[in-house]
Amino acid sequence: MEPEIRILTFVVFALLVYILLKKLTKKKISSKEVAILGIFTALTAVATAFIRIPISATGGYFNFGEIVIYTAAFLFGGYTASFVGGVGSAIADLWGFPLFAPITLVVKAVEGYLVGYIYEKKYVPFGKKTDTRVKIFAGVIGGLVMVLGYFVGEVLIYGPILGGEHISAGAAAIEVPVNILQMISGIIIAIFITKKIKSAL
């Protein structure tokens, strides 16, 4: 199947699942929300697929997708960030790294939801509850889930469980500091972007 057809099929399916979840939670979907989903999902796919630095040891890559995911989480909440993160990032993988797409869908969806949910709840475990501190804490929690998710995913995909090419935990660990850097840069830039957007409104 051509990459374009895979991506279109995936997007349609993902949107139907999102609508179903909204119906089950009795939340209405506005045309504005659909437009936001489309724009931020596309931005995530572009930031992930086209602005990246490959990591030869694992087949992964450093990218700027977290910036868009965290920005969506801080502006629109967990549900939107979950769709944007999972679907947008998986689209990028379907284009060039389809084996990673299922892992990416789950990991980035959970990451986006956690960041948005924690920020909506304005939760920090200690210290003064400022907007920036909440954003940092939310981003760190979501980002650490991403780091752990990809570490486990790479071992499973390339390891003996799925019968793929063997990769040791040590090799998968090479990507851990890269993903942490991806998380940190995403938090910092997303905080800056959201402050500028909110001050302009």
Per the document, the length of the chain is 201
Give 116's DSSP letter: H
**Alpha helix (H) residue ranges in 25-100:** 31-49, 65-76, 78-96
Segments forming the whole domain that contains residue 138? 3-200
| 99: phi then psi, degrees, rounded to nearest 5 | -65, -30
Beta strands 52-55 and 60-63 are antiparallel
Q: Which of 106, 80, 91 is nearest to 22 (CA)?
A: 80
Per-residue pLDDT band at 194 (split at 50, 70, 90): very high
Nearest-5° Cα angle at 108, 135 to 192: 30
Give 51's DSSP letter: S
Overall domain count for the chain: 1
Q: From CA 189, how far away is CA 157, in angstroms rounded?
A: 31
Query: pLDDT tens digit string along 111-164?
Result: 999 999 999 999 998 888 899 999 999 999 999 999 999 999 888 877 655 555
Model pTM score: 0.86
CATH number, domain containing residue 135: 1.10.1760.20
Bridge partner residues of 53 (DSSP)? 62
